[in-house]
Amino acid sequence: MIGLAQGALDHTKSYIKEREQFGQPISDFQGVQFQIAEAATNLEASRLLVYNAARLKDQSKDFLVPAAMAKLHSSRMAQNVTSLCVDLYGGYGFASEYPVEKYYRDSKIGTIYEGTTNMQLQTIAKVLLK
């Protein structure tokens, strides 16, 4: 989910620097810049959660909750980031000729396989409340 979101964001950063509306690239609009900054921040947070869970596993420490938190956060983040990317491509975001439509569709599986979102929440809550 990290790589998928990063790929969508990379494509989108290039696209919004090329696409012009009202006589300027849409990346010049502060509203668009803020959305990209939010997406990049959430992506980085997910990446660090994943690295932290991997670090704990490598050190043979308990990584159950950190891994569940990483999966929960990353799958939601990927949906949100790829959804923003579709929005920023405008009408082209909906078309299969452009890459972000597939990133968006593929992001949905992250909340389902390898433990659904509800299962991650259950795992986290069970440990926190035991």
Ligand X SMILES: Cc1cc2nc3c(=O)[nH]c(=O)nc-3n(C[C@H](O)[C@H](O)[C@H](O)COP(=O)(O)OP(=O)(O)OC[C@H]3O[C@@H](n4cnc5c(N)ncnc54)[C@H](O)[C@@H]3O)c2cc1C
**Residues near ligand X, by CB under 6 A:** 109, 112-113, 116, 118-119
Query: In terms of CB distance, is 87 or 106 closer to ligand X?
Result: 106
- Least distance to ligand X from the beta carbon of 115, Å? 7
Dist. CA 47–CA 65, nearest whole Å: 16
- Least distance to ligand X from the beta carbon of 73, Å? 16
Query: In terms of CB distance, is 65 or 119 closer to ligand X?
Result: 119
Determine the number of helices (DSSP H) and then strands (DSSP E) in the chain.
Answer: 5, 2
Instruction: Point out the catalytic residue in the list 20, 38, 44, 114.
Output: 114
Catalytic status, residue 114: yes
- Least distance to ligand X from the beta carbon of 89, Å? 24
Cα 62–chain centre separation: 25
Q: Write the burial class of residue 43 (CB in 10 Å: 0-12 exposed, 13-18 middle, 19+ buried).
A: buried
The answer to whether 89 and 109 have CB atoms below 8 angstroms apart is: no
CA nearest 3: which of 94, 85, 96, 107?
Answer: 107
Query: In terms of CB distance, is 48 or 109 closer to ligand X?
Result: 109
Query: In terms of CB distance, is 22 or 113 closer to ligand X?
Result: 113
The residue count for the chain: 130
- Least distance to ligand X from the beta carbon of 50, Å? 19
Known catalytic residues are 114
